Amino acid sequence: SQTIHQWPATLVQPVGSPLSLECTVEGTSNPNLYWYRQAAGRGLQLLFYSVGIGQISSEVPQNLSASRPQDRQFILSSKKLLLSDSGFYLCAWGSGQETQYFGPGTRLLVL
């Protein structure tokens, strides 16, 4: 069966520091991968998606970036965090008819 992992589970970072969040999927090959963000009290916002290694599409211009170095690995990064980057970051995978399955999330607090 397929599983999706995210780490870290929680993170507290100072403004201006770098960020790296990792997502890995097991039990499937060539999945579509997604990064979403959920700010406090708000809905999910799609940030990036990828249909294959090295292929990244950005939905929202911002100081975040994403990379897919391996088929089942998706990384979300920032060189300098802003206060507004705080939120709950969710990775998801999908294939076929695009039912998407979400990971447990990373809660990021930027101070």
Partner 1 sequence: DAKTTQPPSMDCAEGRAANLPCNHSTISGNEYVYWYRQIHSQGPQYIIHGLKNNETNEMASLIITEDRKSSTLILPHATLRDTAVYYCIVRASYSGGGADGLTFGKGTHLIIQP
- Positions touching partner 1 (CB under 8 A) are 32, 34, 36, 43-44, 46, 49-51, 57, 59, 88, 90, 92, 94, 97-105, 107
Distance in angstroms (rounded) separating the CA atoms of residues 39 and 45: 8
Is 31:25 a contact under the CB 8 Å cutoff? yes
Nearer to partner 1, 15 or 53 (CB): 53
Residue 67: both structure tokens together: 């990379």
In the chain, what's the furthest Cα-to-Cα distance? 40
Is 88:38 a contact under the CB 8 Å cutoff? yes
Nearer to partner 1, 13 or 88 (CB): 88
- Minimal distance, residue 29 CB to partner 1, in Å: 15
Nearer to partner 1, 2 or 17 (CB): 2
